[in-house]
A and B are shown apart, each in its own frame.
Chain A
Amino acid sequence: MSALGAVFYREAKIRSTNLTFIFWDLFYPLCYMLVFGVGVNAALGAPAAAGGVDYNAFFLGGVLAMASFGIAANTSWSFFLDRDNGIFYEMLTYPLSRPEYLLGKVLFNMMIAVLQAAITLGLGRVMFHIHVRWEMLPLLFLGMAVGTAGWFFFYAIFALRIRRNDVFNSVTSVFYFVFLFASSMFYPLDPLPVWFRRAALVNPITWQIDWLRYSSIGIGQPHRVALEAAAFVLFALACFAYAVRCLQRQE
Chain B
Amino acid sequence: MSEFALEVQNLVKIYSARSKPPIRAVDGMSFSVPRGIIFGLLGPNGAGKSTLLRILTTLSRPTEGAARILGFDVVRKPLEVRRRIASVIQETAAELFLSARDNLLTYARFQGLDRATGVRRAEALMREFQLTDDADRKVQDLSGGFRRRVQVAKVFLVETPVVFLDEFSTGMDPILKRQVMNLLRAEARKGRTIVLTTQILSEAEELCDDILIMDKGKQVARGDLNTLKLLSQGVFEVAMTFDRLPHGMEAELASLSPLRSSIDANSIEVAFKAEEGRALEVVTDLARNRRVLHVEVRGASLEDIFLELTTVGGQPR
Contacts and interface: CB of A to CB of B under 8 A. Distances in A.
A13 B83 contact: no
Interface string B69-84: 0000000001100110
A90 interface: yes
Contact of B87 (A13, A90, A97): A90
B267 interface: no
B58 A92 contact: yes
Interface residues of B, number: 33
B109 A1 contact: yes
B59 A251 contact: yes
Among B59, B82, B109, the one with the most A-chain Cβ atoms within 10 Å of its Cβ is: B109
Majority SS at the chain B contact face: loop
A10 interface: yes
B109 A90 contact: no
B89 A14 contact: no
B98 A13 contact: yes
B111 A94 contact: yes
Among B85, B91, B164, the one with the most A-chain Cβ atoms within 10 Å of its Cβ is: B91
Interface stretch (A60-68, A81-89, A163-171, A206-214): A81-89
A171 B83 CA distance: 36
B57 interface: yes
B275 to A, nearest CB: 48
Contact of A90 (B79, B93, B97, B102): B93
B30 interface: no
B96 interface: yes
A93 B138 contact: no
A120 B35 CA distance: 58
A95 B93 contact: no
B89 A95 contact: no
A95 B82 contact: yes
B82 A96 contact: yes
A3 to B, nearest CB: 7
Given A87-B94, A89-B93, A95 B112 contact: yes
A251 B97 contact: no
Contacts of B87: 90, 93
